[in-house]
Chains A and B, each alone.
Chain A
Amino acid sequence: MSNLQNIAQRAIDRAKTNGASAADAMIREDDTFSVTVRMGEVETLKEAISRSLMLRVFIGKRTATSHTSDLSPAVLDLLVDETVEMARLTSEDKSGGLPEEAIQRSGFPDLDLLDTSWETMTPDERISLALRTEAAALSADKAITNSEGASFEYARSRIALANTQGFNGSYEGTGAGLYCVPIAQSKAGMQRDHWMSAARHRNQLATPEEIGKRAAERALRRLGARKIPTCRVPVIFDPLSARSLLNHIFEAVSGSAIYRRSSFLVDQIGQPVASPNVTVVDDALMPAGLGSSPFDDEGVPTQTTAIIENGVLKNYLHSAYTARKLGSKPTGSGTRAASGAVTIGPTNFYLKAGSHKPDEILSSVTKGLYVVELIGFGVNTVSGDYSRGAVGLWIENGKLTHPVQEVTIAGNLREMLKNIEMIGDDVTFIGSIAAPTLKIGNMVISGA
């Protein structure tokens, strides 16, 4: 048993001694390194080891949670005692409690989350990755005149979890990201865009040159962007902007939104909610996936969950609590918020690739908008109403023409999902949520 597992075990043992009927504790320890370079010079260099313990106690059906970055025994003991006292003051909640013992396991699959070869990289080599990325962007075109910088971030994380039903497990993973934000300038003004790569393994990370060049291309093509008149046209989301739609779907199928009835997808299991070509999964078991883990933050074994299959809504995502509340089974989606409370989180949550090449999708549009970035918070998951600021490129006869900005795209998520007409073969994982190119039949563009 690791040192972290021992600390977690000690905390729940103490909770039990103090009158808790059940408890669980998770510890997260991260060794982190990050460097930001700008205009060829190191701007910031940051390194640390951080630890955090998240505790949950139950007294019957009452619960309280706590978290601390201070793991010294005296502080921890006091916090455990206070947490038990707090639990006495909350209400009975009949769905409360740890996950059923029967679904917990001790053996877990090896998901290939750790790559120790990162450790052999010196700080200078790590800095050089960021420098090369920015250099590739700056040298891509003379219109790239400035930069918000490039950064390399690395973390090695250890998770330990123990509960009073005898579960005590741990796992370890690595992850790194390389990110670049060049700025292009012309008489029409400045434009920035970005590109990145993220991976658990060294050999899965895109090369600095690839990332820098792509980031530069994305910034350059935005130069001279202008408003377009208000219109109703087909909209194509590139894989980066399409990811945000997957985020909205995730929020709408999360068990906590469902029991609160604060989702436009409530009461619709078995119903068609999207176009028949749409399949969405939450797959925690993807080898080396950025969102993969052997068990969730409550010790429930993780799984592959069909969310939407051929357009039909199949499952919501559940923690032990939301599953009990809605008469369903936990899907291994329990996630600890920084506060220590358990919420619902995505693992590798993505829309499956379709059969179309991105060019083919473009060719199918006579007049429309190709969206590359969305900003603002104009999405109402309760009603499905959708209206966000968009940046993109105008499509004319199947070709990208001029860049567009200061417009919004609006609709309702219910109709948008049913109007997904074409799906690209280009699912792009730069995080745990991913999507391919998507074409939506029509949306209102609001502009001049």
Chain B
Amino acid sequence: MELNKSIFFEQHNVSTSDLGTYLSEALSRGGDYADLYFEYRINHSIVLEEQIIKSATKGVNLGVGVRVISGEKTGYAYSDNLNREHIIKAARTAAFIANTSSAGGAIQVPTPLNQERNFYNIPIFPAELEIRQKIALLEQADHAARTYDSRIKQVQASYIDETKHVLIVTSEGKATWDLQPLVRLNVMCIAEENGKRQSGYQGGGGRRALEIFAGELSPPALARESARQAILQLHAVDAPAGTMEVVLGPGWPGILLHEAIGHGLEADFNRKKTSAFAGLVGQKVGSELCTVVDDGTIPFRRGSLNMDDEGNPTHETVLIEKGVLQGYLQDRLSSKLMKSALTGNGRRQGYDHIPMPRMTNTFMMSGESAPEDIVKSVKKGLYAVHFGGGQVDITSGKFVFSASEAYLIEDGHLTAPVKGATLIGDGPTVLRQVTAVGNDLKLDQGVGICGKDGQTIPVSVGLPTIKIREITVGGTEK
């Protein structure tokens, strides 16, 4: 890959010599570092509802963000116009943060970094395919959901793809670019019986073209799973209230790790000592059964990236090894201030946002227990396999997440499905309470969206079956 092949040079009249000018402007009032983040992002989405194609949408996002760092301070400005004078104006605005009058160091001329690796090396991007092929996926999903059960009254299926061109140029002379595909298919069903209504949801995707929608991600498989959940909920019993033993199924329940542990290990919160995990590196924060990893390098995964949004290569980062905290997820600013190595976790929603430490694909490594033995070992508890979403207060460490599919466990057997179960716990203590880890690590199907400070980004989570000694279940049945 050559720098000159980037779309910004070919179609948007950005030249190598201009880049130096913009960076000089950005550092014209001093400052330690500056970077430019060019983004050109195209989205397509199609929605099927009431058995018709209700809408098709295309989106274009083009712009450049200019960042200047001076000590712990960040100045930021952006422009959705790539003309020279607009970028220079943005650079001057961002420069305002540095208030030393002396000029910054000499700007090195950017030279391209050769990126050998590619975790989404696909011959054709989903965006380039005929819209009719995408509509066919939605129609297959709709048909499968409606024939699954006559109580399925509504099906909403949606298809979304994204193509993102990124070019990052830094005042340290690094220039990197990437081309990132992303695709997703969602199916939502509403089941109705005797005036009772419940919904079910299933989705899947990743950084590939349409061949990703095969096997358990095929439109009929996603649709049947969505319909099954909606039907199941029609006869679910009210969730219990109080503390109990909880078994989490493999895959998507990894959202627990994401909320309970992951956010608290983002470096910015720890640098500012606002996280319940601050200052605990080297200490035991979980049971020896727990090894937690953030890995942005798994091919075709939703959370994977060749480079983060600061142009640094993504990594496999061991956060917790056999219960001991190893380190935090770093972006450039925090790694400098904490004198820690970069982990390739500086991410942002787009050119109009400042990068922050964020997760990529976060999961717990497999243990040795057979999943069925874990369930058998529980006398009275809850088995949760599907979740709607979660949230954490990283300062107090308290997290919450909502089970959309869960069952009571009675004497080692799954019994009634329960509805509306919310699990609430404490991040720093939940890993200490893990008493069994299954040998069945599974990553989720590729639908995760993570929000922080108003910025959303795609992520992935994963988990083997695990048992937690005690967690509070927030239902209505005492």
A residues adjacent to B (C-beta < 8 A)? 38, 41-51, 63-72, 75, 79, 82-83, 86-87, 89-93, 123, 146, 148, 183, 189-192, 222, 225, 227, 230, 232, 260-262, 338-341, 375-378, 380, 382-383, 385-389, 391, 405-412, 444-448
Contact = CB atoms under 8 A, between A and B. Distances in A.
A445 B243 CA distance: 12
A406 B190 contact: no
A251 to B, nearest CB: 13
A338 B41 CA distance: 14
Contacts of A385: 419-420
A63 B52 CA distance: 12
Contacts of B73: 41-45
A48 B96 CA distance: 13
Nearest to A231: B478
Given A82-B58, A227-B472, 17 more contacts: A43-B72, A65-B56, A69-B80, A70-B62, A75-B60, A83-B58, A148-B272, A189-B396, A191-B395, A191-B396, A260-B156, A376-B402, A376-B422, A383-B197, A387-B474, A405-B396, A408-B424
Interface in B153-188: 153-154, 156
A146 B273 CA distance: 8
Contact of B420 (A65, A69, A83, A378): A378
Given A70-B80, A387-B402, A192 B274 contact: yes
B303 interface: no
A146 B272 contact: yes
A380 B80 CA distance: 38
Contact of A446 (B79, B196, B473): B473
9 contacts: A45-B73, A50-B63, A63-B54, A230-B241, A380-B420, A386-B420, A387-B402, A405-B398, A447-B243
B59 A51 contact: no
Contact of B400 (A41, A382, A408): A408
A221 to B, nearest CB: 13
Contacts of A375: 391-393, 398, 400
B258 to A, nearest CB: 13
B58 A48 contact: no
With a 10 A CB-CB cut-off, give which of A48, A72, A232 has the most chain B CB atoms.
Answer: A48
A50 B78 contact: yes
Contact of A68 (B55, B56, B59): B59
A67 B60 contact: yes
A45 B93 CA distance: 9
A280 B476 CA distance: 27
A86 B56 contact: yes
Interface in B384-402: 388-393, 395-402
Contact of A389 (B96, B153, B422): B422
Contact of A262 (B154, B396, B400): B154
A338 B420 CA distance: 31
Contacts, number: 258
B82 to A, nearest CB: 8
B335 to A, nearest CB: 17
A118 to B, nearest CB: 18
A230 B131 CA distance: 53
A60 to B, nearest CB: 13
B204 interface: no
Contacts of B150: none
B112 interface: no
Contacts of A409: 474
Given A51-B80, A230-B241, A376-B391, A389 B58 contact: no
B424 A382 contact: no
Contacts of B478: 230, 232, 444
With a 10 A CB-CB cut-off, give which of B80, B198, B421, B473 has the most chain A CB atoms.
Answer: B80
A111 to B, nearest CB: 26
Contacts of A43: 72-74
A387 B420 contact: yes
Contacts of B390: 376-377
Interface residues of B, number: 79
B85 to A, nearest CB: 13
Contacts of B59: 66-68, 338-340
Contact of A89 (B56, B57, B96): B56
Given A72-B81, A86-B56, A341-B55, A408 B419 contact: no
A38 B333 CA distance: 15
A383 B191 CA distance: 11
Contacts of B272: 38, 146, 148
Given A376-B402, A389-B391, A339 B45 contact: yes
B427 to A, nearest CB: 11
B396 A190 contact: yes
Contact of B474 (A63, A232, A260, A446): A446
A80 to B, nearest CB: 11
Contacts of A386: 420
B57 A90 contact: no
With a 10 A CB-CB cut-off, give which of A123, A148, A409 has the most chain B CB atoms.
Answer: A148
Contact of A377 (B43, B199, B391): B391
A142 to B, nearest CB: 17
B132 interface: yes
A230 to B, nearest CB: 5
With a 10 A CB-CB cut-off, give which of A63, A190, A341, A391 has the most chain B CB atoms.
Answer: A190
A190 B395 contact: yes
Given A90-B53, A91-B53, A378 B400 contact: yes
A378 B402 contact: yes
A183 B395 contact: yes
Given A91-B52, A376-B402, A378-B402, A50 B57 contact: no
Contacts of A191: 395-396
Nearest to A36: B74
Contacts of B243: 447-448
A41 B165 CA distance: 35
B472 A408 contact: yes
Contact of A50 (B49, B192, B352, B476): B352
Interface string B448-477: 000000000000000000000000111110
Interface string B59-80: 1111100000000111111111
Nearest to A189: B396
Contacts of A225: 396
A250 B18 CA distance: 50
Contact of A86 (B58, B78, B391, B420): B58
B188 to A, nearest CB: 9
Contacts of A50: 63, 78, 80, 352
A46 to B, nearest CB: 4
B282 interface: no
A387 B422 contact: yes
A339 B144 CA distance: 28
Top 4 A-B residue pairs of the complex, sorted by shortest distance between their CB atoms: A408-B474, A376-B400, A389-B400, A91-B52
B319 interface: no
A270 to B, nearest CB: 18
Contacts of B257: none
Nearest to B90: A48
B470 to A, nearest CB: 10
Nearest to A387: B422
B77 A48 contact: yes
Interface string B407-441: 00000000000011110111000000000000000
B242 interface: yes
B402 A377 contact: yes
With a 10 A CB-CB cut-off, give which of A50, A71, A92 has the most chain B CB atoms.
Answer: A50
Given A383-B419, A406-B424, A341 B57 contact: yes
A48 B241 CA distance: 49
Nearest to A48: B78
Contacts of B473: 446
Nearest to B387: A377
